[in-house]
Every structure is written in C-alpha cells, then in structure tokens.
C-alpha cells in the first residue's frame, strides 16, 4: 500500500478540520447577522408603518366617545373595542385626513376590524352620532317614567325627582298646571342628547305636551264642556288607566262627567291604585279602598286633586269631546281584548262585573 494516501496523512486531516471550522464559524456569523438584520428591519417597519386592519370592518357595535376625549384617548378606546388595530394607525389616519378632524362626544356606529381611515371618516361626521332613545307609553305615572328615563340617560333617578318637585317651576309647564308635572310629561319616543340634565329631558316632554295641547285646542275644548283644563287633564289621566281600548275612551269620558254631574263618587280603581302607589294591578283590595287619600274616589266625591298618569293625545281628546249617553257605569270585562261593558243601573253593572270576575278566574295571576 502507498504511504502517500490521504487516509493515512495526519496533516491532511488537520488542514481539513481547520478549514471546516472556519467555514462553520463564518456560517454562524452570517446567520447571526441575518437574524439581527431581520429584527432591525422588522423594528424599522413597525416604527415606520403602524399595524392596521384593512377594509370597512365586520361586526357593528356602538362606541361611546366621552366629552373632552383627546385623539390619544379615542385611539385607546378604539383599540380596546377592537375597532382599529393600533393607536398609531388611528393617530396617523387623523393626521392624514383631508380635513381637520374634530371628534364630538357621543355614541358612534363603528365596526370591529375596520381600517383606521374608515374609523376616522365615521367619527369626523357628527351626523353619525347615535343618541340614546327611550319610549314612554301612555298612562305611566311620573315615578314609572323616571325609572325608564334614569336607565336610558344614565342619570340618577333622584335627579328626575328633584327636577319634578323642587325645580318644577323650571319645566316650562302651562300656567294652569299648578306647578305639578304629573300629567304634563307627555308620552312619546325621545332621543336623549349627550350629557343632558334631568331638567332638559323633562322640558322636552312638557314642550311636546304643549304642542299636542295646542293642536287639540285642549283648553278651549275644555271650556266648551264647562271644565277647566286641569280638571279635563285629570279625566284624561283616568281614561288612560281605566279604558283599555282607545275607541272606548270617549264613552267612558262621558260616563265620568255623568257621575260627576249627579254627585256620584267615581269609584275608580285606577285612582285608588295611584293613592296606594301600587303598580301593575287591575283590581284593588278592601284595604286599598279604605285608604284615607284625596285620590281615593271610593271615599271622596268628585275628581282627584290632579292627574294620576301622563295621558296621550287620544285620551286628552276624549276628555274634552265626551260621548253623550245615559250610562253611569263601565267595566272592562276582557282586559286582553280591551272589551268594555256599560250599564245604566247598578244591577246591570254587577252583571258586567261578574263577567270580569270570571275572566280573572280564567286568567290566574292577571288581576
């Protein structure tokens, strides 16, 4: 065998290992440089170009922007709600907008995962502000309205109580209102502006009342039937609670005036429930009817001292345009259908009351 073979030459292997080590070291160095370079490039990109979603977004949501919020604070809110991907993208979109951006306080309809530029477009237009809404149905008392208004406005309930009692003189009530808001807080659907006061909200209601009252010529119509407007409004408030169907309101209105003209007590369960601060009931108990209150029309003749609810336009109209008849009694015999029965005598009335009592027996828990 030849002794010059590379397999047997220790010098050859020494040089080979040295060369391999150099190459390996160089490769590691290049890899490290590449890694560091990539990290540096990524850092540069993240600094130069903010993370942003693309497109108009996905799921819609309402986002509230508080009064006095800065651009930075708005950006934080939008990131927290997952509307925009980064605060930096939002600030850049505000900066790059074609016109100066002023963001007003309020609720805006935005979408999750929308581009910052799209979000800025929505926020820059005050027409996009969504106001909270509240629907107040006919026949609610002030107390019942205040529960709904407090929830819709995020104002303390006591603010409404104070506005309606201690500050009633600031509610723009009609001169004949006796400074009592009950009956004048008109039922309707209202938009609640941003940062309102309880007084602002109640003034919107009294303003609507005045508008409806003027349209109906309520005061003039009341005089035509020889009633003062406050008494007529009190009748309207009773109609809202006693007549389950608007088509019966004028007939019941006429019966109320018939009983008043004959000196008969109204014996209205609705007034007794009001006197007892009872809610959600159709009937009264012996104990409730025994209460000493000017609103207890089982014990006191004539009308109660003021409205027992806040009536709508149909009840107001019925109160000043009653249907003439010889009836002296009424009772709702089927509350679900709003069926009302009328009678001229107590005996006829008791027969109608028996129908209502049977309905109550057939509908446990509703009376």
| CATH at 117 | 3.30.1490.480
From 158, 181, 214, the end of a domain falls on 214
Confirm whether pTM is higher than 0.85.
no
What is the pLDDT, as a whole number, of residue 49?
A: 58
Judgement on whether residues 120 and 144 belong to the same structural domain of the protein: no
- Secondary element (H or E) of residue 191: strand 189-192
Query: Of all residues in the chain, what percent carry a pLDDT higher than 70?
Result: 87
Q: What is the pLDDT of residues 201-227, one digit of tens each?
A: 999 999 999 999 999 999 999 999 999
In this structure, are residues 144 and 164 in contact, taking their beta carbons and an 8 Å threshold?
A: no
What is the pLDDT, as a whole number, of residue 2?
A: 35
In Å, what is the CA distance from 249 to each residue of 28, 126, 264? 94, 43, 20
Q: Is the pLDDT reported for residue 355 higher than 90?
A: yes
CB under 8 Å to 264, separation ≥6 — which residues?
Answer: 301, 328
What is the pLDDT, as a whole number, of residue 337?
A: 93
**Structural domain includes residue 239:** no
Of the candidates 292, 293, 275, the one whose C-alpha atom is nearest the C-alpha of residue 284 is 275
Judgement on whether residues 198 and 172 belong to the same structural domain of the protein: yes
Residue 115 DSSP code: -
Strand partners, 133: 191
The CA distance from 243 to 266, in Å, is 14
From 154, 187, 214, the end of a domain falls on 214
Q: What is the average per-residue pLDDT within 165-182? A: 97
Q: What is the average per-residue pLDDT within 224-235? A: 99
| Number of folded domains that form the chain | 3
Domain encompassing residue 356: 326-366
Give me the residue label for tokens 């800065």: 70
**Structural domain includes residue 357:** yes
Judgement on whether residues 209 and 165 belong to the same structural domain of the protein: yes
Judgement on whether residues 107 and 76 belong to the same structural domain of the protein: yes
What is the pLDDT, as a whole number, of residue 5?
A: 42
From 75, 105, 128, the end of a domain falls on 128
**Structural domain includes residue 1:** no
**Structural domain includes residue 173:** yes
**Structural domain includes residue 269:** no
Round the CA-based radius of gyration of the chain to a whole number and report it: 38
| Local structure of 64: helix, strand or coil | strand
């Amino acid at each position: 065998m030849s002794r010059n073979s590379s397999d047997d030459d220790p010098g050859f292997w020494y040089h080979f290992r040295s060369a391999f080590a150099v190459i390996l070291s160089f490769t590691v160095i290049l890899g490290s440089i590449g890694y560091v370079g990539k990290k540096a490039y990524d850092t540069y990109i993240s600094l130069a170009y903010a993370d942003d979603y693309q497109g108009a977004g996905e799921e819609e949501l309402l986002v509230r922007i508080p009064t006095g919020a800065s651009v930075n604070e708005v950006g934080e809110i939008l990131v927290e709600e997952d509307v925009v991907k980064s605060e930096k993208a939002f600030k850049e979109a505000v900066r790059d907008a074609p016109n100066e951006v002023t963001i007003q306080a309020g609720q805006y309809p935005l979408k999750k995962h929308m581009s910052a530029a799209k979000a800025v477009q929505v926020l820059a237009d005050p027409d996009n502000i969504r106001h909270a809404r509240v629907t107040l149905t006919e026949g609610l008392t002030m107390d019942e309205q205040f529960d709904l208004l407090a929830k819709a406005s995020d104002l303390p309930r006591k603010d409404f109580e104070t506005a309606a009692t201690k500050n009633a003189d600031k509610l723009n009530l009609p001169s004949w209102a006796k400074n009592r808001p009950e009956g004048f807080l008109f039922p309707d659907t209202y938009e609640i502006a941003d940062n309102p006061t309880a007084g602002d909200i109640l003034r919107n209601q009294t303003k609507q009342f005045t508008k409806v009252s003027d349209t109906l010529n309520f005061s003039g119509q009341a005089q035509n039937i020889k009633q003062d407007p406050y008494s007529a409004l009190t009748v309207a408030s009773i109609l809202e609670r006693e007549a389950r169907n608007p088509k019966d309101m004028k007939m019941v209105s006429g019966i109320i005036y018939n009983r008043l003209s004959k000196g008969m007590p109204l014996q209205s369960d609705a007034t007794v429930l009001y006197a007892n601060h009872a809610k959600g009931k159709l009937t009264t108990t012996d104990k409730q009817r025994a209460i000493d209150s000017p609103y207890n029309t089982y014990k006191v003749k004539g009308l109660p001292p003021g409205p027992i609810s806040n009536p709508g336009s149909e009840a107001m109209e019925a109160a000043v345009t009653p249907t003439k008849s010889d009836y002296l009694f009424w009772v709702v015999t089927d509350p679900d259908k709003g069926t009302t029965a009328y009678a001229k005598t107590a005996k006829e009335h008791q027969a109608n009351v028996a129908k209502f009592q049977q309905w109550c027996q057939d509908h446990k828990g509703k009376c």
